[in-house]
Structures are given as structure tokens and as C-alpha cells.
Amino acid sequence: MTAASRARLLAGVGRFRDAEEAVRSGLIELPSDPELLALLAGLLRLQGRGPDALDAADAAVSAAPHLAGTHIERAECLLLSERPAEALAEAEEAVRLDPAHPPAHRVLARTLVSHRDFGRARDAARRALALDPESVPDLLTLAEIERHAGRRDAARDAVRQALARDPENADGRWMIALLDAERLRVGSAMRGLRGLAADHPAQLGGVAMTWPIRGLLSGMRRGLLVGLLLAGSLALSALAWPSALLLARAAAATVAAVMIFFSVRVLIPAGRLPWRCLGLLPPRTRRAVACGLVAASATVTLLLWYAVSTHSPAMVLCAGAVGVLLAAGRAERS
């Protein structure tokens, strides 16, 4: 068995570190082998080691610039490094070199999504499917395009076609859970993720189970910021037009009620599992989430206080709580 074959077998069961070692052993004998270099780049990319992956991909392209596969891998690494313009150039070069190779069209579709060119991305994915109609990765790529384009029904249809071909495909099951989550079908999404975590523990750990809490905070950051700006503007207008005070109170009460309803709508179907899994987050992220929860709760309470009492200090304190909430969100993402 070759080093490349052994590495692919190991990667197929999620043993990326062992696969990397197998590739590096092969590179000792064949240091300029483009297949091994591209495979190494892919393994490093899957481990989230972007700069190292791009270095390996650069070496693969230098060793075999005439092979579409090296450009495909470099395009993927450039996408991970958030360099979409360069990624698009590499993907287009891969298609030029081998227009009958479905993965070349697939990576082109993915790079076009990063440019929000959904029409051309859809065409590229369908070209890949025309070349290989049974391809599960190409169907899932089409589903991802449709999801980003806001066409969730079309995305779900593509995923279902993929799962009809490979019912246990982890990426397809993840996509279904993601689509359920985006439509606030929280219970269904959590059931899907539980099953996925049980079947593929190496690919989906408990951290993913915290998405109801983290997703709720993301939505509350946007909603409370907009609500604060609206209620605050009306409160300031009341200095000149006293009748605007009633509108400011109504706006504060409405925003608070919507946020409470949103929280109940997400957290009750999610159950206790997301809260149990918070302890699996990295310490910095866990602290940011905890801080965000406190700040969001304080903001809603202060909005209700203002709606009932119209005390101006409540609005000032509310602005401070929203500032903490936004800062916690930045810390969580960093």
C-alpha cells in the first residue's frame, strides 16, 4: 500500500494526524511528489492549520502546475485563508486544465459562493453533476449554494438527493440539521445533531450542541441593538415632542417581548443538553457566552423597566448593557 493510499484510509475514519504522518513518511522518499504534497495540504486544511496547508499547496502547484488537482487544493486553502480572489483564479485554472474533472467545477462553485455569485456557482455545481450525476459531494455543494442564496427548499431537496445515495453521509446530515436550525425547528435540529454526534464523534463533538445558546445570543445582539437605537431615538425625540415618549415606551416593551418570545422559542425545544455542553467550550469562549447571557438578560430587563417607568437612567444603562453584549460577541468569535 502506498503512503497516499494509507493516508486516505486513515483520513476516511477521521484520523487526520496519523494520515499526516503517513504522508510525511512518503515525502521523505519523494519530496516533490505532487499527489503527496496536495494530500498533505488537504489534511492540514482539515485540521484548521491554514498557513501550513497553503505552504504545502504552493509546493504542490510548483511541483506540478499542469495538474488540475494541485490547483484545486490550493484554491481550497486560499478559501480557508479568506483570499477569495486568488482562490477564484486557482479554481478557474483547474477547470481550464481539466474541464471534464468534476472536482474542478465543484471548487469553482465554492469560490463563486464566496463572491456571492450564486448564479455562476449554481451553473458550476450543475456542470459537475452533469459529469458525475451520482456524486454526493457535488449535490451537497449545490445544497450549500442554495442555502447561501436563501433558497432553503431547493437546498433541502439537494441534500435529500445526496442522502438517498448515501444515507449515513455526515455532511448531508449536518446540512439537514443546519437547515432545520435556520428555520427555528430547534427540536428537529437537536435530534439530528445528537444522532450525528453519536455516529461520528470524531467529526462532531459536544461543542456543536451549544448552537441554540450561541445562535440565540447572535440573534439577540442584532435585535437588541436595533431595538435600543429605535427606542433611544424616540426617547430623544420626546425632549422636543412629548408625545413621542409613549412611542418610546411602546418600542422598548415590544423589543423586550419579542426577545423573550425568541428565547423561549429556541431554548425550550433545545432542552438541557446545550447548557450541559457549555462546559466543553474553550475557557475564553465560555466566559464570553456567559457574559453575553448576563448582558442580554440585563438589557431586556432594563427595556421593560423603561417601558414601565420611563426613567431616563434605564435607557442609559441599557446602552451600556448592549455595549457589553456586543463586546462579548466579538470575544466569542475571536
In one-letter notation, the amino acid at residue 250 is A
Topology of domain 3-207 in CATH is 1.25.40
Give tens-digit pLDDT for 249-271: 999 999 999 999 999 999 999 88
Is residue 61 within 8 Å of residue 45, measured between CB atoms?
A: no
Closest listed residue to residue 62, CA positions, set 99, 25, 19, 31: 31
| DSSP 8-state code for residue 83 | -
Residues ≥6 apart with Cβ < 8 Å to 262: 216, 219, 220, 223
In one-letter notation, the amino acid at residue 60 is A
pLDDT of residue 196: 80
Is residue 217 within 8 Å of residue 296, measured between CB atoms?
A: yes
Percent of the residues in the chain that have a pLDDT greater than 70, as a whole number? 96
Give tens-digit pLDDT for 36-51: 888 888 888 888 888 8
Sorted by where each begins, the domain ranges of the chain are 3-207, 209-333
CA distance 315 to 239: 14
CA distance 180 to 215: 13
Q: What secondary structure, in 3-state letters, does 312-323 show?
A: HHHHHHHHHHHH
CA distance 231 to 306: 10
- CA 306 remoteness from chain centre: 36
Question: Which class for 119: exposed (0-12), middle (13-18), buried (19 or more C-beta within 10 A)?
Answer: exposed
Name the E strands within the chain.
Answer: none
Q: Look at the chain and count its residues.
A: 334
Q: Which cell numbers hold the place of 42?
A: 488537504
pLDDT of residue 182: 84
Closest listed residue to residue 223, CA positions, set 253, 250, 247, 258: 258
CA distance 68 to 57: 12
CA dihedral 136, 139, 140, 143 (to 10 degrees): -160
Give tens-digit pLDDT for 123-156: 999 999 999 998 999 999 999 999 999 899 999 9
Give tens-digit pLDDT for 166-175: 988 888 998 9
pLDDT of residue 146: 94
The pTM (predicted TM-score) of the whole model is 0.75
| DSSP 8-state code for residue 243 | T
